[in-house]
Amino acid sequence: MSQLVPVQQCLPLDAGRPAALVSRLTGQLIGRRWSIVRLKSERKYGELLGPKEPGKRTDLEPVTACDRSGRMARNRARQVFAIPEAAFDTYLSEADEPTRSELLRTGKQGNLAPLLSSKTDLWATPQDLFDQLDDEFGFELDVCATDSNAKCDRYFTERDDGLQQTWSGVCWMNPPYGAEIGGWVAKAKQSAGEGATVVCLVPARVDTHWWWDNCLGGEIRFLRGRLRFGGAESGAPFPSAVVILGRPSSVVWWER
């Protein structure tokens, strides 16, 4: 078991002490879940601190000899809190090994901005990938689209509530990548059982229930490297796969 070290020293005596304590303790534990807990605690600390006021000290300022350490902790927390909530949640749900440095680097470079609107976690389909798949399958219906990014003449938007519609023919699906992704993949599996072919672009999250419950019955194409979604300058913080439901189960390492 991991040993916990004393935390009485070098912790600022301020309202952020619980968050700093959580960050210190969870930092000693290995695993994706604890990385998520740590980032969430820092974000909450940044929310509690509020915007920095140059030249002013507040009642949250530390009064110990560890002033410099506390100031750095507050600056990091504010930086994490400055990441848009939708982008923050999506990063945590899709990154293999979430880290503060990658989160901040991705945010500063604007790699999340073109992928997400302020209220959704929609990742824009790479056009070259879609074109290649469209040549192979001949898509008839985009089941999860917006008016501006629909890939087919027939498509469902949020107004249509695609999960409540009937999917038929050859369908393309690039679903929201947040917590609701499981419902979309389950709908794809159901529709395939009713005769449709549904080609899904999804994160290769083989550690999730939605993946094991729905994707294993189809053809799985693991994509090499990381896709560049929308107008991103670099690859996504997660690997991707194309899952074809309505075809016999198989696994392909797809070089494209």
Tokens 């990063």, located at residue: 91
Q: Report if residue 110 sits inside a domain.
A: no
* Residues 210, 136 share a domain: yes
Tokens 């107004």, located at residue: 159
Condensed to tens digits (0 to 9), the pLDDT of residues 126-171 reads: 888 899 999 999 999 999 988 888 889 999 998 999 999 999 999 9
* Residues 137, 246 share a domain: yes
* Residues 145, 56 share a domain: no
* Residues 48, 132 share a domain: no
Q: Report if residue 7 sits inside a domain.
A: no
Q: Report if residue 112 sits inside a domain.
A: no
| β-sheet bridge partners, residue 196 | none
- Single out the residue of 172, 167, 133, 121 nearest to residue 151, CA to CA: 172
Q: Among 25, 58, 82, identify where a domain stops.
A: 82
> What does the pLDDT read at residue 52?
62
* Residues 141, 72 share a domain: no
CA pair distance 254, 83, nearest whole angstrom: 33
Q: Which own/partner contact pairs does 50-55 have at CB distance under 8 Å and 24+ positions apart?
A: 51/78, 52/78
Residues in Cβ contact with 115 at an 8 Å cutoff, skipping those fewer than 6 apart: 87, 90, 122, 123, 124, 229, 230, 232, 236
* Residues 78, 134 share a domain: no
* Residues 247, 187 share a domain: yes
Instruction: Identify the domain containing residue 48 by its residue range.
Output: 17-82
Q: Among 65, 82, 99, identify where a domain stops.
A: 82
> What does the pLDDT read at residue 1?
45
Q: Report if residue 48 sits inside a domain.
A: yes
- Listing DSSP states for the chain in one string gives -PPPPP-SSS--SSTTHHHHHHHHHHTTS-SHHHHHHHHHHHHHHHHHH-S--TT---TTS--STTHHHHHHHHHHHHHHHHS-HHHHHHHHHH-SS--HHHHHHHHHTTSSGGG--SS--PPPPPHHHHHHHHHHH---EESS--TTT--SSEE--TTT-GGGSPP-SEEEE----STTHHHHHHHHHHHHHTT-EEEEEEE--TTSHHHHHHTTTSEEEEESS----TT-SS--SS-EEEEEETB--EEEEE--
Q: Among 82, 108, 138, identify where a domain stops.
A: 82
* Residues 152, 48 share a domain: no
> What does the pLDDT read at residue 10?
41
Q: Report if residue 78 sits inside a domain.
A: yes
Confidence class of residue 123 from pLDDT cuts 50, 70 and 90? low
Q: Report if residue 50 sits inside a domain.
A: yes
Indicate which CATH number applies to the domain containing 202: 3.40.50
What sign does the dihedral 127-129-131-134 (CA atoms) show?
negative
Q: Can you tell me the mean pLDDT for 90-106? A: 74
The chain-wide mean pLDDT, for the chain, equals 76
State which amino acid sits at residue 182: G
For the ranges 11-25, 93-107, 124-138, the one whose mean pLDDT is highest: 124-138
> What does the pLDDT read at residue 238?
78
CB 39 within 8 A of CB 103: yes
* Residues 156, 54 share a domain: no
* Residues 189, 74 share a domain: no
* Residues 247, 131 share a domain: yes
**At residue 16, does pLDDT exceed 50?**
no
Q: Report if residue 210 sits inside a domain.
A: yes
pTM: 0.56
Confidence class of residue 231 from pLDDT cuts 50, 70 and 90? low
Confidence class of residue 12 from pLDDT cuts 50, 70 and 90? very low
**At residue 33, does pLDDT exceed 60?**
yes
- Single out the residue of 66, 69, 108 nearest to residue 87, CA to CA: 108
Q: Report if residue 57 sits inside a domain.
A: yes
- Single out the residue of 197, 85, 199, 184 nearest to residue 133, CA to CA: 199
> What does the pLDDT read at residue 32?
73
Condensed to tens digits (0 to 9), the pLDDT of residues 41-57 reads: 888 888 888 776 555 55
Task: Say how many domains are in the chain.
Answer: 2
* Residues 142, 241 share a domain: yes
